[in-house]
Structure 1
């Protein structure tokens, strides 16, 4: 899984930056140069091969993403154990484990997105607004566009978090949107202008290319790729979401997380044609808190159930990729559901 279909284009982009290639940048990787910065520096200053530079970047981003996600869930729930379960589930999702450690830039994009979400929570859930922090957040999201498009999801979450804030007046909310949007657009437009001036490539070129010959859209394929984002954890998510609503633990933050997840999932098919599990995975952080709630429902078995689901997800993925064995996803899902049902009724019989 070290090389993916897109891997050679990222390596070629670094070679172009270093002046060691004359091949054209057909996939417009130079339009997002910040994702190439670390591999370029590692090669230039330490002579570390470009592919290993990407691997180092992805490895760092993998664990930093897990750490930031832990901080996010702890901020939302104030419970260390739930944050730990969520972090563990996130690192054991197959897109994170497979594509987060390949010669790609998705991992760095996920990290920047999560960092932005944490900053947004701290910015808009504090007793006093800081306009300086709001301006910084706008610029932060603008910079994120030159790493990976997943920063858009941070913007969506921030939009809902502000919209649902119970104490800000409509006038304050409009002012926040204006400041945030101004610094975002200013940073984005300046960055895009500089990149276009230096390399003759812009974000718009990349967007047009992505829509020039899109793959056919099928709902069946979209649903299958959606399932692959967290696989067996979907069943813990459903349990956690039900418990969260049933026990009236719904807050402004939970609503913003859920709306970001649902809106993003619904809108992506209309705006981006490449609906693979690693693209959809940027929405996973906005549902992972309910995976932790769902696991916690099973009390002492919470950790074993998270580990079992994660290990099964990875093993099934490996067997499918390596040996093309059919039916494994359905079999593993049925067995895991049966296990959850048996444990649930055993808990009920014990409590009665």
Structure 2
């Protein structure tokens, strides 16, 4: 195991961290390598998504950079240091969910190091993210029925697009993306991962399998949405696109990446573009809409139309019914 030897000088012996009792410490590289093994073998029982691993790695790297800037050695971090880092995030105007995710990532980092005996304890245990002062229901930002209609109307009508096949693909792609998120309650990550092979049919009913947050679910597609998907495929085929089981549902239309899977940031860019176009992105000081607001829209409008909580829970794929109850307070 790579180690770093500490000098036994006076400053070390008088240190409040009592470093004189420690002769060797693991290098930061050894701790990072340990964490990488943990991410690939332990998180989600070895089946963590690429996005999850990337998030944990990035949040931990930010913490290690903070340690380096303050000349704090990661193997000697204390609970007080973790609290200082939490305060740094709070001062940086990070939200409670963001801080919570950072602490979870760092906790996993030290769990991995503790398992390989690189550290003596996990300093993150007992340190929690600050509570949000606002009610949970106030975080639910959604579009009204008329605003949602405004969004769809802003997408060029299909029948008026002639000659330009790429434009036809764009119009259909965007309509399908918006409909899946705002009417079917799909998450951005689910649309990012969706393939053509995830669409199935039984009789006259079409279904879409969604690979989401630690679970796979199947939703029944609206009839009008299923028809647009069929037209979308036809137009892409006319563009000489060859379909395989892994052909993405939502594709990039850029010259260099045409036909490849559109990134999550690309999906967000499309949704935010239509929100901006309709002047709905920031309507007042209290409401700022995001791509996830379309999912909130699906749940809220479904309840307003008379659906039961159980039906909305199934629509949104909530494993815990308590998560769905927040929509009753909107």
TM-score of the superposition, structure 2-length normalised?
0.27
Higher percent of residues as helix? 1
**Over alpha carbons, which structure has the higher Rg?**
2
Higher percent of residues as strand? 2
Q: Give the structure, 1 or 2, with the largest relative contact order (CA under 8 Å, sep 6 or more).
A: 1
